[in-house]
Every structure is written in C-alpha cells, then in structure tokens.
Structure 1
Amino acid sequence: MASWRSMARIRGGDARGIKGVILDIDGVLQFQGRVYPGAIEAVQALRDGGLVLRFLSNSTLHSRRSRAERLNQMGFRVSPDEIITASSATAAYLRALHPRSCWVMLDGAGREEFQDFVQDEDNPEYIVIGDNRSRFNFDTLNKALRLLLLGAKLVAMSPELLDASLGDVELNVGAWALMLERASGVQAVYVGKPSPYVFAMTLATMGLAKDEVIVVGDRLSSDIRGANDFGVRSVLVKTGEYALG
C-alpha cells in the first residue's frame, strides 16, 4: 500500500537526516480493528534501521498502557513509553499547571492518566473534555456550562469534530468542546493534534531536533497540518479517514 511504500523510502534514506518517526495509529497502522498489510513488518524495519519511534494518537479513550497492549495483541512490538495519546498529553499539560481540581469528562482506560488529580464535579478549577459518551446528555452538559459561567476553565483533549475509527461516523471531542466554548464564552485550550503542544511534547521524549523527525498520518486537518505548523516534515498516507473522504 502507499503508506508502507512511504515507510520504505524513509528507511531507504530518501528522507536524509531523519532519525525519528512519529506515527499516527488509527488510519496508519490499523483502522477499525484491522491491521494494514505490511504495517507490522514496516514498523519493525524502521526499528531495525535505528530510528526512534513514537506513536501519537488523538484517542482519548485509551491510556498509553491500553494502547500499547492493544497494538501488541495485533502483532506490533510497542512500549507504553513510546505512545502519546490525547489523554496522556492532556494529563501532562494539566500536571504542569498544578490544578486545584478537575472534572475529567472521559470514559475508558484513558482515565488512568488522571489518577493523580483531585476530581471534583461540583466546583472544579478545570473542566476537561474527552470522549465521555456514557454521560454526554442534556443534564451533564448543562452542568458543565453553568460551572464554566461560574469561572471554571475549559480544556479539550482533541479538537477533532468527527471520528470514524470505531465504525460509523460519530461526533468527536472537539464538537462537544466547541459547543460549550460557544455557549459559555470561555475559550478552550485544545491539547491534541494539530496543537503545537502535543508535537513539542512528543519531540521532547525523542531527544531529537525538528529537522531530524518526520510525521506520518492520514489526516490533513490534524496530522499533516499539525506537523507543518510545528515545522517538521510530514508524509500523508491515503488510508484511514483520508480514504473515507
């Protein structure tokens, strides 16, 4: 497939000076639970070529641990330390701010990343929006709105409005955050791709300079735009959500 021909070019030296690769997961390595043919072998070839790898996902439902576990079950060889998810990046962003308390609106294993925060749904300093599909209803969203009007700050784990990685197209984190932002007048901080923050954070874990890294993704709006805005090279693969149009 086109995506793994691109990987072969990186390994083969077409991208001179490259010492590391930041790979998206959904739409690049796998999509909707199906691994792309050649993906496992290509990732291993990049490792064998001595490249530093990071796997950067806008998923909020996954923690680094759960994401690595799932990829390893699929046949990849990945360490949790090589993974950055939108939830882990948001937790790192907040940790630097030393918040008094947070209301983390999130389902799934991604909640693991916020275990060391004081959780408060009645008077939080920060409202943190992830994929909280089990509780996104009229009452919960109105409660969040009122807390924002009373002075809470708003952080969104991802700016993406739509998602098709689980099957049908669904509203994504950015849609819920934008609604609360517009209704309350409180400007949200968006952490996930294409935010420069998450690219800077990922690069810092690699110990490499911008001109030594290339980003591989399937989304123009997040992967490629984010990489270009941050000043690193990028490769667009025509799989995943790109192929869906």
Structure 2
Amino acid sequence: MAWNYLMDMDGVLTSEEHLIPGADAFLAELTSNGTPFTVLTNNSIRTPRDLRARLLRIGLDIPESAIWTSALATARFLDSQRPGGSAYVVGESGLTTALHEIGYVITDSDPDYVVLGETRTYSFEAITTAIRLVERGARFIATNPDATGPSTSGSLPATGAVAALISRATGRDPYYVGKPNPLMMRSALRQMGAHSEHTLMIGDRMDTDVIAGMEAGLQTLLVLSGISTPASVELYPYRPTEVIGSVADLVGRTQDPFRS
C-alpha cells in the first residue's frame, strides 16, 4: 500500500526553533519517493508562507502547499457554513489572511462570528470587544483548544485559555476547529486529495494528534520526541497504531512504515 502522511509540526519535526534530528532526512525521503505529505499545526499565528520561511531557516524544506494550519481549517469551515460572512478576529496575520482569502470582512460592527486565534499580544480591549459581541449574538469560534503554548521561558497562555475567559464571561462556549477535532484532519485530507484509509498521522500528543487521527479513520504513529512518554501513553483508554522514538526511525521505510 502507498501511504500518504499527515504530521504534526512541534514535537515531530521541530522543537522550539530547532529541527528534531532526522526530520530533514525523513522529509527528504518522502519528497524523493513522491510520497504526498502535509504538515499540520494548531498554531494560527503564521501564514504558510511565513512558516515555510521559518522552517527553511532551520533546515526543513516544506512547500507552502504542504502546510495546513488551524487558521486555514477555520477559514474553510466558515466558508462552508456562511460564505461571504463577517468576523471580529482576535489573532494575527495567519488567521486574518486566511479569512480575507475566503472573502470574509473583518469588522467589529455586528459580525457573524467572533473568531479567536493565537497571538503573543492578547489585548484586554480586544477580549472585551469579543465578549460584548458574543453577548450580542455573534457566534463564537476558536481555532484550537490548546490552553498553553511553549516558549524558551516556559508556558504561555494560548487560545484555549483565552477562550475560557470569554466563555466564563458570556456563558457561551466556542466551537473549536483545530485538533483534536477530526474536522482538521478531514480538511487537510481534502486539501491534499488523499483518503483516510491510505493516510498515516504522526504526532507527539495522545490527546490531540492520536485521538484526532483515530477519529478521522487514520492509522496513527506516536513519536516520543515531543511531549509524550511511554508512561503517559498508558494513561489513555486508546492507543496509537505504533509508538516510535522519532521520525528518524522511519527513514528507510517510509513506504512501509509498519515494517519491524
């Protein structure tokens, strides 16, 4: 069977601003074999173009077309729900660009949606505006439920944490588009023209990557190069198809990843 690959970025290919050893050889082998692959990230800050430039600097050559963010998945979802709509956005260029590209108007005047994404500069004023618009009837969407994100100094509050603040103030919970919602996987599959039966998901988190892949009908590989450990895997009532150390273990067998 010829496999297609979906893979998380942080913890699978990168760690902070460094590539995980073997990630470059793994991607080079996929490219050499003509194996379709897409890199997924719940982070909505950067556009695929910006992410490609960032990854090139650390030695990973990934085409823009092979990068799928929660911002792009959110935009595709909104386009399917209410084409040509409007949104008030709390987020950065990755999210606003994705919404502009589907023809959405960004406004704080009676928007159809409040869309919350990742940003490193959450503004109390912007959050207050979002709360008031949700109270007035705007539908509440968030790109992903991650409560914290990594930094060199420790954890940073992320989309899920700010969404909880807005939810507590309004009594309204958002609809999360990114992982672990399998919608993120399905939209990525459509983007690459692949079928779930022939696609493998590689991730480093049981509670987002593995469960989303499993619920989307994919085979799953958990790598131990990110947040998971052999002990933490045992805490969950479901299991990945296989656990490996890192994507370096797949070099030489990307066409037959389950070969022992």
TM-score, normalised to structure 2, is 0.81
Gaps of 5+ in 2: 233-260
Contact map agreement 1:203 1:210 (CA 8 A) in 2 = yes
In structure 2, the partner of 1:41 is 25
User: 1:94 aligned to 78, 83, 88, which one?
Assistant: 78
Q: Which residue type is aligned with residue 86 of structure 1?
A: S
In structure 2, the partner of 1:178 is 164
Counting only pairs closer than 5 Å after superposition, residues 29-108 of structure 1 correspond to structure 2 as 29-96=13-80, 97-108=82-93
Counterpart CA distance in 1 for 2:165 and 2:83 is: 26
Shifted more, 202-211 versus 21-30: the winner is: 202-211
Q: What secondary structure does 1:95 align onto? A: helix
In structure 2, the partner of 1:209 is 195
In structure 1, the partner of 2:155 is 169
Counterpart CA distance in 2 for 1:30 and 1:61 is: 16
Q: Any runs of at least 4 consecutive aligned residues in structure 1 with deviations exceeding 6 A, and if so which? A: none
Shifted more, 190-199 versus 141-150: the winner is: 141-150
In structure 2, the partner of 1:4 is none
Deviations 1:188-228 (A, max 9, x none): 11111111111111111222221201001111111111111
Counterpart CA distance in 2 for 1:211 and 1:47 is: 21
Contact map agreement 1:164 1:241 (CA 8 A) in 2 = no
How far did residue 135 of structure 1 move? 3.5
The change in CA–CA distance for 1:149 and 1:105 in structure 2 (over 3 A counts) is same
User: 1:123 aligned to 107, 110, 115, which one?
Assistant: 110
More helix by share: 1
How far did residue 18 of structure 1 move? 4.4
Q: Which residue type is aligned with residue 164 of structure 1?
A: P
Q: Which residue type is aligned with residue 121 of structure 2?
A: S
Shifted more, 176-185 versus 205-214: the winner is: 176-185
Shifted more, 114-123 versus 125-134: the winner is: 114-123
Contact map agreement 2:90 2:127 (CA 8 A) in 1 = no
How far did residue 77 of structure 1 move? 2.1
Counterpart CA distance in 2 for 1:140 and 1:220 is: 33
Contact map agreement 2:199 2:218 (CA 8 A) in 1 = yes
Give the paired residue count: 227
Contact map agreement 2:204 2:225 (CA 8 A) in 1 = yes
In structure 1, the partner of 2:143 is 157
Q: Which residue type is aligned with residue 199 of structure 2?
A: V
Shifted more, 173-182 versus 120-129: the winner is: 173-182
User: 2:99 aligned to 99, 102, 114, which one?
Assistant: 114
Counterpart CA distance in 2 for 1:209 and 1:90 is: 21
Two-structure CA RMSD over aligned residues (Å): 1.9
Q: What secondary structure does 1:241 align onto? A: coil
Counterpart CA distance in 1 for 2:154 and 2:110 is: 35
Q: Which residue type is aligned with residue 161 of structure 2?
A: A
TM-score, normalised to structure 1, is 0.85
In structure 2, the partner of 1:235 is 221
In structure 1, the partner of 2:242 is none
